[in-house]
Structure 1
């Protein structure tokens, strides 16, 4: 019996390596070598504007820093945005497939365009920041915060699933390693993009993190990436995790997922070799640094504490 061929695609994209004339980052299904998920990062100078054609994709516009005005179908959506990705959840805009939008920013900023190939045409919508569920997962050094702005069951979309994960410096997230590359009662097939931002040190020192992807005997894949601010890792299949934040540098990543199945759901299985770690969280406190955003937002939108043995993670 021959061993399955190892996935040799370029899966770690250092900052700037996937830039195009129009975008600081552009990952399409075609460039990724897969079928469903995409992500662009648009940078606008103060007063800048860009026209966006969604084509076959549904798109969720997420301010990473700064505010944005989205004009589409004779409607105008104003996104207040945020100072940076560590300042708490942001409002966002949903753009349907087959539409054209004008994006403009008086103060300038950086904006993620999360995309998935869509079959249905859903309405243009504004997602308020106040409606974004903030969840604290794990415990101890595995504590992390998840902003579930466009997950299944939270926000309606045709195929796109997206969330933000914030990991305090020194902690591990996306752990235990898990996968979602088959269709079954316990798993859904989803391509996934990790886009990273890393908080600098007190004098602006650049930070770093580590991210792991590895395969099964039938579908080998092997990534151990030292990721820096604004890097991307693509996960076409296989176990992925941990994402490890270096001490002193809080870690943010944006997850964008979509797959071929008719059901929009996020079901995962843990690597059996590491699943036992969940049992150690019982009785441990969540890292007191979380939620990692302003006290006024934490007071008005209290986070939820999940069941440590819960079925939804990472």
Structure 2
């Protein structure tokens, strides 16, 4: 299996399990011009279609769904269309669009299901300068086989995925999940963040700058992210694992887990939540 790594924008468009050296998780980013169409064959992958910007129609199982509409990931919560395995799909861009296609190898077949911003909570997590906004379009109780999808927004200067945690072993309080991060910055030209992934047991420590359009592969390791001051950060999480139970349970770094005890008395970051449910003027 691969070790944690950052792949910079321009050096990737699609991550498959074969690329990553693992079993399940995948991600593709499609940059579509208005009127452009892409197709997906019926195969062993369950997929989640998440417009990051623009609007598309998705033709699947005799139905057509129109999804999207935000100008960027910072303008509103996302739409997600879940499509099970063994199901062909045709996508047509109604205007210029960026479309994320999260996927996992699946055994069981479920039903097509649309998740709209009305179905999502505008959730604040953490405290102090570890405050961030989270929505989970495909949570553990979603009727899917393995795929889990999360959207996270972190205001500039704040920590996210904190305390550092890992999804490495299927056991009480932890799940083994292959995780992909896809980063977008509000300022794509100048914005940046820092991703750390580390494993004392493996004598491994990666601390690397990430920029708009980069992707991180996390097969194991404690991990956490911090947005540079003044640079709001978004990332899409794609996770999947082989355990029978669907869960996002994580094991926190025991050396840092107690830092969250201060959140109950810490002054809340007034910027969070800072992404509305729907774009203004929608």
3-state secondary structure, aligned to 1:30: helix
Shift of 1:89: 0.9
Change (3 A) 1:106 1:8: closer
Counterpart in the other structure of 2:104: 116
Gaps of 5+ in 1: 1-6, 19-24, 299-314
TM-score relative to the length of structure 1: 0.85
TM-score relative to the length of structure 2: 0.94
Shift of 1:251: 0.3
Q: How does 1:51-70 map to 2 (within 5 A)?
A: 51-70=39-58
Shift of 1:134: 2.3
Change (3 A) 1:90 1:161: same
Counterpart in the other structure of 1:309: none
Which residue, out of 158, 161, 169, partners 1:174?
161
Runs of 4+ in 1 over 4 A off after TM superposition: 7-10, 295-298
Which residue, out of 234, 240, 246, partners 1:258?
240
8 Å contact from structure 2 (residues 146, 240) kept in 1: yes
Shift of 1:54: 4.9
The 2-side partners of 1:11 and 1:95 are apart by 28
Q: Is 1:214 the equivalent of 2:201?
A: no
Greater RCO structure (CA 8 Å; 6+ sep): 2
3-state secondary structure, aligned to 2:149: strand
The 2-side partners of 1:54 and 1:212 are apart by 37
The 2-side partners of 1:122 and 1:192 are apart by 22
Gaps of 5+ in 2: none
8 Å contact from structure 1 (residues 134, 148) kept in 2: no
Which residue, out of 206, 209, 216, partners 1:226?
209
The 2-side partners of 1:12 and 1:161 are apart by 21
Q: Is 1:84 the equivalent of 2:72?
A: yes
3-state secondary structure, aligned to 1:266: coil
RMSD: 1.7
Change (3 A) 1:240 1:129: same
Q: Is 1:44 the equivalent of 2:28?
A: no
The 2-side partners of 1:265 and 1:36 are apart by 15
Shift of 1:191: 0.7
Which residue, out of 108, 120, 128, partners 1:140?
128
Counterpart in the other structure of 1:306: none
8 Å contact from structure 2 (residues 51, 98) kept in 1: yes
3-state secondary structure, aligned to 2:69: strand
Q: How many pairs are equivalent?
A: 280
The 1-side partners of 2:278 and 2:190 are apart by 28
Counterpart in the other structure of 1:301: none
The 2-side partners of 1:8 and 1:39 are apart by 16
